[in-house]
Structure 1
Amino acid sequence: MTTTAALSRDPHAPFDIESVTVDDPRDDEILVRIEAAGICHTDLVSRAAGSPQRPVLLGHEGAGVVEATGSRVAGVRPGDRVVLTYRHCGDCRNCRLGRLAYCARSTVLNQFGARPDRTPRITVAGTAVRDGFFGQSSFAGYALATADNTVVVPGDTDLAVAAPLGCGFQTGAGAVLNVLAPEPDARLVVFGAGAVGMAGLLAALTLPGVDVVVVEPAVRRRELAVELGATAALDPAAGDMAAALADLTGGGATHALDTTGRPEVLATAVSALGVGGAVAVVGLGAGVPPIDLRDIVLGGKSVRGCLEGDAVPAQFIPRLLELYRAGRFPIDRLVRTYPHTEIGAALADQRDGDVVKPVLTRCAR
């Protein structure tokens, strides 16, 4: 099957829109016609990392309609509307415990995992494309997925809104609902109001009596956070954040969510916690945060890493869609759609803070 795809041939150059050939699904594969694909920071990090094999096909927040399934696929049928997410083996100890994001084979399956026989799924002018990103590579008109990363959703689901549930929205919402689980009268601080942080904000607001303060440098995102229900939104460059947050939270936050991946921000998040507070860390940065162990021990504070919201996608994505349908989780306010051929404009708007979650739509095959 021939379709178009946004390929990366140079990690420092714009994406190229090219014609590619997608193979027929094998016995364990699912061919999905991609209707929408969110752009996630992880796509950009992986593109910038470079690779000895080019071109690379990214995209891991795909959503679409099932075109065909292999003979061994169960639970997914042609015509189903689906959201694609990350892969997991289902057999290791973590998978058996429901901690799918920590699957022992996660790296092998999600970081451009190849078919067992090494035959290409996608080619361009006869050359194999490096694909299989999160088991989907959804920056194309069609993607080959598997049952473990394919979530069937209701037939009337707006796929442009649902697509980011495969990663970004799932991560932020899950960090709050599954990991932090703030109780009534909790005081949550969200560091970073990108797609993950905003989803965390919206998830917190579905809980009774939770106040949320957002720390974000982009003025437009701060304004949107307040519109969506944040008690306050602070510019991190405005002064002593720990002191300002202590004042806003009545002496210290009960919970914090750090989406930035910056060690100095994590240090601020820990210092902003009150006694017994907890911070969930989802940003994949690098470095050592300057945290005083005495503050951790004497304050009874905890720092918890979190991947993909510690979610079981087949259960959590439908739950978030139910909240959205009920008007309690307005993720549509975070999404702006772009034709897939305008991926460059989408990236520019995201970089400038003009859009929280750009989503590519398929306007042509």
Structure 2
Amino acid sequence: MKIKAAVTHSMGEEFKIEEVEISDPKANEVLIKVVASGVCHTDAVARDIGLSPFPAVFGHEGSGIVEKVGEGVRTVQPGDHVVLSYASCGHCENCLTGHPSVCVDFNALNFGGKMEDGTHRLHQHHHELSTFFGQSSFGTYAIANERNVVKVDKDVDIALLGPLGCGIQTGSGTVLNKLRPPFGSSIAIYGTGAVGLSAIMAAKIVGCKHIIAIDIHESRLELAKELGATYVINSKHADVVKEIKEVTKGGTHYGIDTTGVPIVVRQGLQALRPLGQLAIVGVTPEMNINVHEEIMAEGKTMVGVIEGDAVPQLFIPELVEYYKKGMFPFDKLVKFYDFTQINDAFEDSKKGVAIKPILKIS
């Protein structure tokens, strides 16, 4: 079947909407008519550093309507509204113990460019196109394994829900699934993009006493306060560690770094109280840490978290329920763009004009 998709032919190249061919779904696969797709920093990173083979169709926060299912699919049927999330094997120890985000085949399935059986579903001029995150949602249709597909309520606008599959799941899941801060505890969120703001909303849900947002953009800090932050710090004009310790009388119990900036990661560690935990969700380069002073001597923990340690089929419907109850207003992060404006959406995301762009595809 002929579809329209945003094709990237080489590293760093702008997205080009072109005609491509998509195959029928094979066993355990689903064909989805894509309604919308979130724009995520990971798509830009993949394009700019060659995270997946080229040519490729990126996009990994898709939402849409099931068009057709392959043999053996049991959890969805044509007409269902679905969100697309990351790929996992479903068989390794981590998948079987409820941690598919650290599937042993995660990198191959999400960044290797092929489907689980080692073949491709997207072609152009008889050449294979790489699939991204097992879905490639920057197209009018997408093929995904049943394990990528999450059925959601039809009474919520399906165009809004795509970012639940990655960025928003990452921020909220790091709080709700991994750190699990108890009522009355304190948490600092470094970076108030879509991931950080999602973490703030989750911290409000569980009843954290101190929810501290740190950023360099006043507009985002204002939104952070609207969404649940009890205290905000513009790190351009403050001694972050000192101020956090003063506000919390000793440091936070928990911290989440979404920036990947080494100096900010160190601030996150230093602003913890003894036995505090810092979760790293940003792509962070090599950096130096004084393990004795910054971790061991005060019994602190530093942990990496992927996709909010979420099982998407269980977690995403929970987020939708929180949204319906007014407890998780992630729609305040969103700005919609037409599919043809895909490059504008990425540029606005890079500049901070839009926190979470969503492309309306069909």
The corresponding residue for 1:293 is: 292
The corresponding residue for 2:322 is: 323
Kindly provide the CA deviation profile for residues 258-290 of structure 1, in whole angstroms up to 9, marking residues without a partner as x: 111122211110100112211111112211243
The corresponding residue for 2:281 is: 282
Say what the alpha-carbon RMSD is for the aligned residues.
1.6
- Please tell me whether the aligned partners of residues 52 and 112 of structure 2 are also in contact (alpha carbons under 8 angstroms): no
Kindly provide the CA deviation profile for residues 335-361 of structure 1, in whole angstroms up to 9, marking residues without a partner as x: 111111101111121112121111111
The corresponding residue for 1:258 is: 257
Q: Which residues in structure 2 correspond to 1:286-365 (within 5 Å)?
A: 286-363=285-362
1:327, distance to aligned residue in structure 2 (A): 0.3
1:174, distance to aligned residue in structure 2 (A): 0.7
Question: Do structure 1's residue 109 and structure 2's residue 112 form an aligned pair?
Answer: no
Deviates more, 1:251-260 or 1:237-246: 237-246
- Please tell me whether the aligned partners of residues 112 and 135 of structure 1 are also in contact (alpha carbons under 8 angstroms): no
> Which stretches in structure 2 are left out of the alignment for 5+ residues?
none
1:74, distance to aligned residue in structure 2 (A): 1.4
Name the TM-score, length of structure 2 as normaliser: 0.96
- Please tell me whether the aligned partners of residues 339 and 360 of structure 1 are also in contact (alpha carbons under 8 angstroms): yes
Structure 1 residues 256 and 124, CA, compared in 2 at 3 Å: closer, same or farther?
same
Deviates more, 1:98-107 or 1:244-253: 244-253
Three-state SS of the structure 1 residue aligned to 2:161 is: helix
Structure 1 residues 209 and 261, CA, compared in 2 at 3 Å: closer, same or farther?
closer
Equivalent residue letter for 2:295: I
Three-state SS of the structure 2 residue aligned to 1:109 is: helix
Three-state SS of the structure 1 residue aligned to 2:296 is: helix
- Please tell me whether the aligned partners of residues 189 and 212 of structure 1 are also in contact (alpha carbons under 8 angstroms): yes
Three-state SS of the structure 2 residue aligned to 1:176 is: helix
Q: How many residues align?
A: 362
Kindly provide the CA deviation profile for residues 27-59 of structure 1, in whole angstroms up to 9, marking residues without a partner as x: 221100001111111111111113795321111
Three-state SS of the structure 2 residue aligned to 1:35 is: strand
- Please tell me whether the aligned partners of residues 160 and 337 of structure 1 are also in contact (alpha carbons under 8 angstroms): no
The corresponding residue for 2:160 is: 161
> Which stretches in structure 1 are left out of the alignment for 5+ residues?
none
- Please tell me whether the aligned partners of residues 254 and 278 of structure 1 are also in contact (alpha carbons under 8 angstroms): yes
Instruction: State the alpha-carbon separation in 2 of the partners of residues 169 and 160 from structure 1.
Output: 15
Question: Do structure 1's residue 50 and structure 2's residue 50 form an aligned pair?
Answer: yes
Three-state SS of the structure 2 residue aligned to 1:238 is: coil
- Please tell me whether the aligned partners of residues 53 and 112 of structure 2 are also in contact (alpha carbons under 8 angstroms): no
Structure 1 residues 119 and 181, CA, compared in 2 at 3 Å: closer, same or farther?
closer
Identical-residue share of aligned pairs (%): 40
- Please tell me whether the aligned partners of residues 94 and 104 of structure 1 are also in contact (alpha carbons under 8 angstroms): yes
1:141, distance to aligned residue in structure 2 (A): 0.5
The corresponding residue for 1:190 is: 189
Deviates more, 1:111-120 or 1:65-74: 111-120
Three-state SS of the structure 1 residue aligned to 2:278 is: strand
Instruction: State the alpha-carbon separation in 2 of the partners of residues 332 and 310 from structure 1.
Output: 22
Structure 1 residues 220 and 243, CA, compared in 2 at 3 Å: closer, same or farther?
same
Deviates more, 1:47-56 or 1:250-259: 47-56
Equivalent residue letter for 2:298: G
The corresponding residue for 2:204 is: 205
Kindly provide the CA deviation profile for residues 140-172 of structure 1, in whole angstroms up to 9, marking residues without a partner as x: 000000111111111222223211110111110
Instruction: State the alpha-carbon separation in 1 of the partners of residues 339 and 290 from structure 2.
Output: 43
Kindly provide the CA deviation profile for residues 97-128 of structure 1, in whole angstroms up to 9, marking residues without a partner as x: 11111111111211134246654311223322
- Please tell me whether the aligned partners of residues 254 and 276 of structure 1 are also in contact (alpha carbons under 8 angstroms): yes
The corresponding residue for 1:143 is: 142
